[in-house]
Amino acid sequence: MEKKIALLPGDGIGLEVMNGAVEILKAIEEHYYHRFHFQYGLIGGAAIDETNSPLPEQTLNMCKEADAVLLGSVGGPKWDQNPSHLRPERGLLALRKELDLYANLRPVETVESLLDSSPLKREFVEGVDFMIVRELTGGLYFGKPSERKVYGGEETVVDTLFYKRDEMVRIIEQAFELAQGRQKKVTSVDKANVLESSRMWREVAEEVAARYQDVELQHMLVDHAAMALIHNPKQFDVIVTENMFGDILSDEASMLTGSLGMLPSASLSSTGLHLYEPVHGSAPDIAGEDKANPVAMILSAAMMLRHSFGMNEEAEAVENAVKHVLDSGKRTADLAKKGEAPLSTTALVEEVKAAL
Amino acid sequence: MEKKIALLPGDGIGLEVMNGAVEILKAIEEHYYHRFHFQYGLIGGAAIDETNSPLPEQTLNMCKEADAVLLGSVGGPKWDQNPSHLRPERGLLALRKELDLYANLRPVETVESLLDSSPLKREFVEGVDFMIVRELTGGLYFGKPSERKVYGGEETVVDTLFYKRDEMVRIIEQAFELAQGRQKKVTSVDKANVLESSRMWREVAEEVAARYQDVELQHMLVDHAAMALIHNPKQFDVIVTENMFGDILSDEASMLTGSLGMLPSASLSSTGLHLYEPVHGSAPDIAGEDKANPVAMILSAAMMLRHSFGMNEEAEAVENAVKHVLDSGKRTADLAKKGEAPLSTTALVEEVKAAL
Ligand SMILES: CC(C)[C@H](C(=O)O)[C@@H](O)C(=O)O
Ligand SMILES: CC(C)[C@H](C(=O)O)[C@@H](O)C(=O)O
């Protein structure tokens, strides 16, 4: 197959881990006789520095013409004091909105050989395997007004949690579709005892559930979910929730696996053009030091092979190679055990390539 | 001293744990020659059943005339299908607003003898001792509009995250005041890379910090905080955050101690009339079975003795008695080790009384 892939390394460790993923994709290209056309674009802080915009027109157009987008990470202290329209995260949020990437899929799966790196006791995290489906283009992230106003001499501020019914329907449907291919259980997370939007969310979840009789639906309050992820994570199969709750819960859930450096994500759109990125951030403290864990980025590329290109065998080959390397005890600094010398980013990538 | 205490047991296990706390308060009354006047009021589902209102006028007036309020818990499946104005939680939210209980203090402290009950590994939670200060009368919980609307034939919904500057100032000041009596470190949690309200929150935090030169201020994004609570909870001293973030993070944090049945909270007002309640809910599944853990409720009463009545010695006596009982291995079902017979609620209360 011939595929155009837009590569947006972004900031911090984004470039290093992206290089790792490209290495692996090139190896796949060779082994399986595909042809990948890689095109690089600027986003985030890097784009602000060069073009004074966190998402340049050119990058957006390049993405729209591609078959899939791979993103590294955005942000860093360098741009933290910028006005809000000139912040790196704005580039990512704008890209999500422009490409209508409404469904963020974050698989959380613990790896046997890494269980000892988890802050949680083995018996709590062994066998954990669930998927968080986070709504990504609505809610507090995009609602208007989002502004300050002076009333009677007093400064006030407002952000808006806004959803259309259709936006709820499509993301909840997505969760049910996924559950059908898994353990057939959806946990819908909301705050229905306080928020009107959550009460509507719950209604929509019930409506959708009626169309998927083979899938079980459970409702859970967000505060309870924040506990349940720790004391009983094995109960989950597919978790679906709105944007902000999803942001918080998925980062929390990432801790079950021991390192944020392990977790890939896919952001699916209505148009068929999807984006793949690691869950981790740009880690400015270790950027440029060839230390970052490239696994999340490599697994994001594997998700792309599977979801965007239908290359199931290739995706599995990458995932197995990663697993093989980790099982053999080779790890980057974030996961290395006491007394073991950690591998560099490039060295780990070489190992994965060799294992392919 | 002579004090009027309003008792609102509420629903589910609320009544049982409240009885336990009253037993302990009566013992304190005797030992220390105080006079406590207990007055009972209805709230939540119990109030709906009797008066058709989750917060009857009579309860509110009784609270206003008291020196402090003790609350059990509200809610249960019986009222889950009620229209939103007839839900038990509405009673609690209305009470918070009416009494201006803007500062919810949730201490999170792990107990050596219970470390094995935590889902987290010992080395992560040993010595954890921090305080979450949650804003309790603003944000998404109370902002208007909170409603559905049809636009061009499509159903939409909105909730509103609203704050006045003064509401931010007073809660952040509260956090700094508390930090001065502790490890002198405040972590302010927000989502400043996305929300305008969070950017204002961050500014206010900086302004307040300038007036407390002896206290260190750190900003943390809410998604990062959800991770940090798991992989490095010892770094925290005082965490301050807005209402919804505080709801999620404090329930998450409660898991560090092993059981939600352990954690008390205080909700402080501007008027000097404060409310104390356990962090746990009404646990309808075990209500009426004399199984519930009364520790959180008893420790809430201890917080009342200290914060509302200035009875430091008495508060400490209660806390030490609880600690003594737990250290001696006596526990309710939520914490009992495999193979150990758990104590009933009343039996545990008797033990605490004996230890006083
Ligand atoms: C960078 C930030 C805007 C983003 C978000 O909050 O969505 C990130 O935390 C994420 O989860 O992808
Ligand atoms: C019962 C509910 C409305 C309440 C809240 O969300 O504030 C509870 O979860 C709490 O944390 O006290």
From the alpha carbon of A247, which atom of ligand 1 is closest? 11
B116 counts as catalytic: no
On the question of pLDDT at B261 being above 90, the answer is no
CA A343 to chain centroid: 24
Find the radius of gyration of the CA atoms of chain B.
20
pLDDT at B32: 97
CB B318 within 8 A of CB B299: yes
Does the C-beta of A285 come closer than 6 Å to ligand 2? no
- N- to C-terminal Cα distance for chain A? 19
Residue B297's pLDDT is what? 98
For residues B27-42, average pLDDT: 98
CA atoms within 13 A on the CB side of A92: 28
Task: Tell me which residue in B124, B155, B223 faces A165 most closely, judged by beta carbons.
Answer: B155
Q: What is the pLDDT of residue B79?
A: 93
pLDDT at A113: 85
CB count, 10 Å around CB of A36? 18
Whether residue A227 has its Cβ less than 6 Å from ligand 2: no
CA A341 to chain CA mean position, Å: 29
Residues of chain B found within 8 Å of residue A252, distances taken between Cβ atoms: 226-227, 229-230, 252
Instruction: Report which of B205, B245, B173 is spatially closest to residue A159, judged by C-alpha positions.
Output: B245
Single-letter amino acid, residue B348:
L
What kind of fold does domain B119-129+147-257 have according to CATH?
Answer: Rossmann fold (3.40.50)
Given a contact cutoff of 8 angstroms between Cβ atoms, the answer to whether B180 and B237 are in contact is no
- Residues in A closer than 8 angstroms to B119, CB to CB, are 120-121, 124, 230-231
pLDDT tens by residue, B157-193: 999 999 999 999 999 999 999 999 999 999 999 999 9
What is the CB-side half-sphere exposure of residue B63 using CA atoms within 13 A?
32
> What's the mean pLDDT in B279-292?
94
- β-pairing, B216-221 vs B35-40, is unpaired
Distance A229 CA to ligand 1 centre (A): 20
Closest partner residue to B156 among A163, A191, A252, by Cβ?
A163
pLDDT at res. B258: 81
Q: CATH says A119-130+154-257 is which class?
A: alpha beta
Give yes or no for a contact between B54 and B97, defined as CB atoms under 8 angstroms apart: no
Q: What is the full per-residue pLDDT of chain A (356 aa) written as tens digits?
A: 999 999 999 999 999 999 999 999 999 999 999 999 999 999 999 999 999 999 999 999 999 999 999 999 999 999 988 888 899 999 999 999 999 999 999 999 998 888 888 999 999 999 999 999 999 999 999 999 999 999 989 999 999 999 999 999 999 999 999 999 999 999 999 999 999 999 999 999 999 999 999 999 999 999 999 999 999 999 999 999 999 999 999 999 999 988 888 999 999 999 999 999 999 989 999 999 999 999 999 999 999 999 999 999 999 999 999 999 999 999 999 888 778 889 999 999 999 999 99
Sign of the CA dihedral B111, B113, B115, B117?
Answer: negative
- Residue A52, CB half-sphere, CA atoms under 13 Å: how many? 0
| A202 alpha carbon – ligand 2 mean position (Å) | 18
B84 is in an annotated binding site: yes
| Superfamily covering domain A1-111+258-356 | Isopropylmalate Dehydrogenase (3.40.718.10)
Per DSSP, A120 falls in state B
Nearest CA-CA distance, residue A115 and chain B, Å: 12
CATH class of B1-110+260-356: alpha beta
Q: How far apart are CA B256 and CA B253, in angstroms?
A: 6
Q: Report the residue from A93, A164, A195 with minimal CB separation from B140.
A: A195
Ligand 2 lined by A223 (C-beta under 6 Å)? yes
Protein residue whose Cα sits closest to atom 7 of ligand 1: A247
Residue where the block lists tokens 């994001």: A300
* Domain definitions of chain A by residue range: 1-111+258-356, 119-130+154-257
For B185-219, the pLDDT digits (tens) are 999 999 999 999 999 999 999 999 999 999 999 99
pTM above 0.85, yes or no: yes
Residue closest via CA to ligand 1's atom 5 equals A247
The rounded distance, in Å, linking the Cα atoms of B13 and B234 is: 32
The dihedrals phi and psi of B7, each to the nearest 5 degrees, come to -110, 120
From ligand 2's centre to the CA of B55, what distance in Å?
15
Pairwise CA distance, residues B119 & B335, whole Å: 12
- Cβ-in-10-Å burial (0-12, 13-18, 19+) of A154 comes to exposed
- Is the fold of B1-110+260-356 the same as that of B119-129+147-257? no
- Specify the amino acid at residue A224: H
**CA A42 to each of CA A98, A288, A296: distance values in angstroms, whole numbers, following the listed order:** 16, 17, 20
SS3 per-residue string spanning chain B? CEEEEEEEEECCCHHHHHHHHHHHHHHHHHHHCCEEEEEECCCHHHHHHHHCCCCCHHHHHHHHHCCEEEEEECCCHHHCCCCHHHCHHHHHHHHHHHCCCCEEEEEEECCHHHHHHCCECHHHHCCCEEEEEEECCCHHHCEEEEEEEEECCEEEEEEEEEEEHHHHHHHHHHHHHHHHCCCCEEEEEECCCCCHHHHHHHHHHHHHHHCCCCCEEEEEEHHHHHHHHHHCHHHCCEEEECHHHHHHHHHHHHHHHCCHHHCEEEEECCCCCEEEEECCCCCHHHCCCCCCCCHHHHHHHHHHHHHCCCCHHHHHHHHHHHHHHHHCCCCECCCCCCCCCCECHHHHHHHHHHHC
**Residues of B with Cβ-Cβ distance to A119 under 8 angstroms:** 120-121, 124, 230-231
Question: Is cis: bond before A107, omega within 30 of 0?
Answer: no
